[in-house]
Chain A
Amino acid sequence: MSEEREMITGIEVPIYLKYHFTAGEATARFLSQVRQGKLVGQRCPSCNNVYLPPRGSCAACGVATTEEVEVADKCTVESFTIVYIPIPGNPIQPPYVIANLIPDGANISFIHLLSECDNDTVHRGQRVQAVWKPQEEWDYAMDNIRYFKPLDEPDVPSESIGKVPVTGWEV
């Protein structure tokens, strides 16, 4: 009975579950407008903040957002990071810039790529604009915008980031 047994350190138990996933009514509405080349957020009836992309509620106030607001494809950099490590499956060659961007007319940031820029001089408050794919390639996806590139406009001071009207930034 002294026979040595092989230690079992793992078993394979594959799991296959199929789902018909839905993004949500607000997000589905947003994606169908992105397909038309428009960025449409939703305004909170309580605090007036505009969310993009909308999730159907104002997370701060806990109320439903229903009023749709088209925002600009010009944005202000709220924050950014420069990625130096390759990420498996990601076709983008490092180093590249990922930024939190707040579109003119919205108050909450979303994440996208910055390109055609000097990585060493990217900064908070910088003005950028969307570079869209050709219209025939548009789909229900945020990568209809390839990336954002710097605009030749004055910076937005810290206290005004997230408060730029849809008409744009005027000094």
Chain B
Amino acid sequence: MKDIAIVSFAQSDCVRNAGAKNEVELIMPVIKSALGAAGLSTAQDVDFTCSGSCDYQQGAAFAFVLGVDALGAVPPIKESHVEMDAAWALYEAILKIRMGHADSALVYGFGKSSPGELPTVLSQQLDPYYLAPLWVDTVSLAAMQARMMLDQGVMEEADMAAVVARSRRNALANNPHAQLKGEVAVEQLLAEETWVSPLRKHDCCPVSDGASAMVLCTVEKAREWGKPYAVISGIDHRIETHNLGARDLTRSVSTEQAAAVAGVSDGAIEVAEIYAPYSHQEIILTRALGLGSETVVNPSGGVLAGNLMMASGLSRIGEVAQRIINGDIKRGLAHATSGPCLQHNLVTVLEAA
């Protein structure tokens, strides 16, 4: 099987409202930057392009098709799209390369969530007969999950606040693209009122607009281009039932399984970038991934510092890949999630060449 390398990554700032910018205007700068870092200029220079986005976010039908205007797709290119986080667009690109249909690929994701009411919009991803008609929003579902964990004694509110305090601190130190950052004490956070009990507003990721992009290729191609790269040594994703009542919401079985197949425990994990939209979910995921104190979790601040729906999962992978490309670390993992209460999870292990 061909080894696959990530050679470049670019992400926009996470902003609460990108204003008048449309999908093309959001995507173009990160695509240009990711291609440029790989020594390329347009999508013509790679064999395959795949994107991740969801039209429900900005309320514009077929917005992902208009996004192709950012690519320079004349003459026509090989192109695909997932109505998911772009971490899964990366997964599709990996399959394409492994099957021998491409040696290089551009992957990008974008989200403009500001035009709608995101938690309500996301209620429409639930099962259409029982749950979607009830309009259960994602924050309420996450709150029920957190309540279950508190009542079972698997965490305390101070543990959740500690996740938030670390996110804000890491974002301040390491992430120029972050929307929320700063020094804040656990006691300060606990003094705030609950929003959707037991969640306080800071336990929930912000709503953000923006995009991210990545160039990957076979290791042979990366050597040919003469670019430093990070190797994807393992990747797997698993999905759980849409019936929330049939799941143990206090753990993430799908993450445990994906981590085992991706080979997380085959070596030390220096850095883990985890897609946890709510503070308590980072606690679930750190446990599911079997991470200990030797791992730095979410040095970027994670998505509590800024959440580009449909690009955040790709950005987690990019955050780890970039640290390997820069020579800061040798081995790390990235996690992406989709669906309510961590329904669907993807784990990627990245290593230095």
Contacts and interface: CB of A to CB of B under 8 A. Distances in A.
Interface of A: 11, 13, 15, 17-28, 55-64
Contact of A23 (B22, B68, B121, B133): B22
A59 B22 contact: no
Nearest to B74: A60
B71 interface: yes
Interface in B118-159: 120-121, 124, 128-129, 132-133
Given A13-B132, A13-B133, A17-B121, A62 B72 contact: yes
Interface stretch (B58-66, B164-172, B308-316, B327-335): B58-66
B57 to A, nearest CB: 9
B21 A63 contact: no
Which of A24, A57, A61 counts the most chain B CB atoms within 10 A? A57
Nearest to B22: A24
Contacts of B71: 62
A2 B56 CA distance: 44
A118 B55 CA distance: 42
Given A17-B124, A57-B69, A24 B21 contact: yes
Across chains A and B, which 6 residue pairs bring their CB atoms closest together, nearest first?
Answer: A62-B72, A24-B22, A19-B59, A60-B74, A59-B69, A19-B115
B117 interface: yes
B70 interface: yes
Contacts of A26: 22, 25
Q: By DSSP majority rule, is chain A's interface helix, strand, loop, or mixed? A: loop
A18 B121 CA distance: 9
Nearest to A26: B25
A24 B25 contact: yes
9 contacts: A17-B59, A17-B124, A19-B59, A21-B115, A22-B21, A59-B73, A59-B74, A63-B28, A64-B25
A62 B70 contact: yes
Interface residues of B, number: 33
Contacts of B31: 62
B22 A22 contact: yes
Given A19-B116, A22-B115, A62 B42 contact: yes
A85 B97 CA distance: 48
A59 B68 CA distance: 7
B191 interface: no
Nearest to B134: A13
Nearest to A51: B69
A26 B20 CA distance: 9
Contact of A56 (B24, B60, B116, B120): B24
Contacts of A15: 124
B43 interface: yes
A61 B56 CA distance: 28
B72 A61 contact: yes
A27 B68 CA distance: 17
Contacts of B116: 17-20
A89 to B, nearest CB: 18
Interface in B329-348: none
Contacts of B114: 20
A165 B68 CA distance: 29
